[in-house]
Amino acid sequence: MAEALQVWSEVTPLTFTEVHEGRADIMIDFTRYWHGDNLPFDGPGGILAHAFFPKTHREGDVHFDYDETWTIGDNQGPGTDLLQVAAHEFGHVLGLQHTTAAKALMSPFYTFRYPLSLSPDDQRGIQHLYGRPQLAPTSQAPALGSQTGIDTNEIALVEAETPPDVCDTSFDAVSTIRGELFFFKAGFVWRLRSGQLQPGYPALASRHWQGLPSPVDAAFEDAQGHIWFFQGTQYWVYDGEKPFLGPAPLSELGLQSSPVHAALVWGPEKNKIYFFRGGDYWRFHPRTQRVDNPVPRRATDWRGVPSEIDAAFQDAEGYAYFLRGHLYWKFDPVKVKVLEGFPRLIGPDFFDCAEPANTFR
């Protein structure tokens, strides 16, 4: 830990001293799963660690996942380098956010580099907060700094895998959950609130739903606030972020063993739920928790919607959205057909991606 802190003290006036009692400016802990901060760990792999920014209710706390295989300077085995991860998390407690700069220690995704060092971008960031090292060190370290615009309710995570490029991918599932839009892909989730991607995302979906399989085929939230996930021939139900049911077979819902490709909650009362697969659809009744008929209807009832879809959701105005590949279709609930001007590209409309110079729709 001292070596991980040293990379920051070498380029700033900061000094760090280990204390054995009382409250320190930086508190380090190795914990497992749920550990009191509403950000549970997920066992080996996935989320490695997290830290709290200055000026937050847990400022200075750094938590490492106890279940990881931690190593020092060894990239040959299956372990994760503790020095790299610790230095990254200490950057957060000092006030640094993630960066997209190449080879930066403060990149949001774990990459083994040895020996440990700061990139020019890391050094500029920390010196912007604290200045350059003084010739004669002072006896008192400056107060931990913060950057303008940091959302102090969000925690930056180091994740072991790289998420797909949101501007060049299809999605496994999309669902409106607690009034926010969640896009799922390859075990990761993007969280949009009022059309804006939230800080700290994309993140592993297991950050919210412990034990969730990856990837998911479909997802929806019912009127009681239960969140349903589908993968293959099974489904799971969560009460918020707490496991409630599953895995359970799709046959319990009156479906055959083939997977559900998309789920759509329809109507203001969330009382109409539809499952889609391969040009067919079923209506699901939450009260009986069965589909109304095991024999599906043809998806051509949804005029203008492609026969094969990847995901579906309803917005606050009652419009339904159907996604396939990089495109989406917006469905009018009054005229019961797709609106003019669709399909459109998902990336530019939802994630502010650049519009391709030549687009085929």
Strand partners, 331: 320, 338
Q: Is 42 annotated as a binding residue?
A: yes
103 phi, psi to nearest 5 deg: 60, 25
- What lies within 8 Å, CB to CB, of 261 at 6+ separation is 217, 218, 276, 277, 278, 308, 309, 310
172 marked among binding-site residues: yes
88 is in an annotated binding site: yes
Determine if residue 98 is labeled as part of a ligand binding site: yes
10, 21, 59, 89: which is the annotated catalytic residue?
A: 89
**Cis peptide bond N-terminal to 133, omega within 30:** no
Query: Is 68 annotated as ligand-binding?
Result: yes
87 phi and psi angles, rounded to 5 deg = -65, -40
Structure tokens at 189: 């989730």
Q: Any catalytic annotation for residue 89?
A: yes
168 carries a ligand binding annotation: no
Q: Is-cis flag, bond preceding 199, omega within 30?
A: no
81 is in an annotated binding site: no
Does 151 carry a binding-site annotation? Answer: no
Q: Is 65 annotated as a binding residue?
A: yes
Structure tokens at 65: 């996942």
| Residue 20 counted as an annotated binding residue | no
Q: Pull the structure tokens for residue 341.
A: 């001007």
Helix-strand-coil split of the chain, %, nearest 5: 15, 30, 55
63 assigned to a ligand binding site = yes
Question: Hey, what are 47's tokens?
Answer: 């989320």
Q: How far apart are CA 35 and CA 64, in angstroms?
A: 11
DSSP classification of residue 109: B
Does the annotation place 61 within a ligand binding site?
A: yes
**50 marked ligand binding residue:** yes
Q: Are the CB atoms for 25 and 60 separated by under 8 Å?
A: yes
- The annotated binding site is made up of 25, 35, 37, 42-43, 50, 61, 63, 65, 68, 88, 92, 98, 106, 172, 217, 219, 310
- The annotated binding site for Ca(2+) is made up of 25, 42-43, 61, 65, 68, 172, 217, 219, 310
What amino acid positions are annotated as catalytic residues? 89
